[in-house]
Structure 1
Amino acid sequence: MTQNNSDPASSEGTPVLVAVGEGLLEVGVRDDLPSDYLGRGFGGDVANVAVMAARMGTRARLLTRLGADAPGRLLLDFWRRAHLDVEWIAVDPSAPTGMYVNAVRQGGHAFGYYRSGSAATRLSAADMDKRLLDGAGALHVSGISLAISGSAAQAAERAAELARDSGVAVTFCVNHRRMLRPDTDRNLAFARAADIVILSSEDARAVLGTDRPDRVRAALGEGPQEIVLTDGPAGAVVLTGGEIHRVAAPPVVVVDTAGAGDALAGAYLAGRLAGTAPPDALELAVIAGALSCRWPGCARSYPSAQEIARVRAGASPDVEPSYGESA
């Protein structure tokens, strides 16, 4: 099936991906650049998923809260340029926008988060309205959406209730983060009730005690119709219809892996909303995740639909990426 391009006008009438959770401003530091270098980036897992979906040509809507501050304004401006529907983003003058530091070092990166008491943690069930799901094909939530605060978890759960009442698919990225002290039972219940579950091998081992695809399938039960299990540079598998489909990742020169899993998730969900079969959607998604590693930062590093198509057609993945803030 033909994949949508990144022109927002071309996606009119297609199902909307609705994401509920947090956005974060990124401050990037690198060991291989001068000591006065500071990079500006844009993150938050569900926000990243929405940006990647929009780059694939999918209409994407984000519900979150931002502070009335410079980080909030930078995020909102970036999301608008990325063609997200930002109508449901509330500005809270009494709380700051969350931030994180992405310190890229030889052999990996380290995150430092500053989100305690952030505006996004004040999301609540009162923020939910059925109109949020107008035109929606899927509601996307993550384990971080459930973990940043009790009220945010209630917001995500209420959104899922409304989605099911409206016949909208629920998708869930497990994104288990120990530092947030997640309620594993709550997250597992959400995953088992979701239609599509995306998790890394690390997530699977932490939450399910195994990363073997057959055992992951058994542990999540019969609720999820599709399970995407990612494994970094090894690629990913999708379990659906009693079958397991594997996709290897293309080799790239890795600069920063931050946000690669979100890129994969966003491209996969965009493909599925466009009617692409799970194995083909996963192929696009794995390419998207790999290409995102060529530049530092999260959403700013995401490739376009055209870049992904070129690599799928056999082009080298290490051609000059279309890096920048525009989608």
Structure 2
Amino acid sequence: MTATTEGLHHVTAIAGDPQKNIDFYIRGLGLRLVKKTVNFDDPGTYHLYYGDEAGRPGSLMTFFPWRGVAPGRVGAGQSTSTAFSVPAGSLGWWHQHFSDLGFDPRITSTSSTEERLLVIDPDGLQIELVATHADDPRDPWDSASVPAEYAVRGQHSSVLTVRDAERTVGLMVDDLGMRVVEQEGNRTRLAAGDGAPGTLVDVHASSLAPAGLTAGGTVHHIAFRVPDQATQQVWRDELASKGHQVTEILDRQYFTSIYFREPGGVLFEIATDTPGFDIDEPLLELGRSLKLPPWLEPSREAIEARVIPVALPEENNPEVAA
């Protein structure tokens, strides 16, 4: 491949009540809502983006919240767990934090290299916090809910559950430019770039997992980073030449995207690092207002009448919250 990914860009999942989603990811996980916009394919529904202070690629988790959405089924053909990187030694604090908020966190693994804490969000989505001794120099969002010394640094990794790991791993090596760094049992870890947190994907092979059903509490797609649209176009042409059914480049306002399904059924997106989330509102005010792309602005009144009103915690914009 001429183009290769530098790691994870974002993960997008489906939620129910947008207010519960906001409260969990801002006050629970300590992320910042960096953009409140709408699903461009369904403008009556929000598209909420959470991340670090500026919503840098690799820190992002995004949601389509449809109130009343039916529960999905986690299974083969999906990204089944999303993990965030936190400092070594911080999981005791996180366990108490989520317990105080009424959740039931649990330590799922402890080894000489990493510890994992699992918490289930209000819609049933599996979120893991991974504490490792690996260097993660990314600056956290220092929120009122989660002090910087414990805070999320960005994404750590995602788990893909598929029936045939060989074909999925082959695509990720041959077409995404990733490399296999570890294999244990039915799990294969791949890395992009330098292999730091935020560049990792675990492929889990399971012949017994039910077929995934994409709905509430499941991941819709996983996105990988590419620096700019010119590189994205090269990548799209190469993928199409190898027989992948790839969309045209789509304008997502804050980045551009292409989509295709890997052989195991997981929907992949390749998203650009640019232009970013501060193109239509100042950094200090990210997430405060409903932002629409130019082609939807003429319908603003109708869209605002359809979306569910939500309240944004003051800690999202502490310097302008008054």
- TM-score exceeds 0.5: no
Q: Could you tell me the TM-score, scaled by structure 1's length?
A: 0.33
If asked which structure has higher relative contact order (CA below 8 Å, sep 6+), I would say 2
Q: Could you tell me the TM-score, scaled by structure 2's length?
A: 0.33
Q: Which has the higher helix share?
A: 1
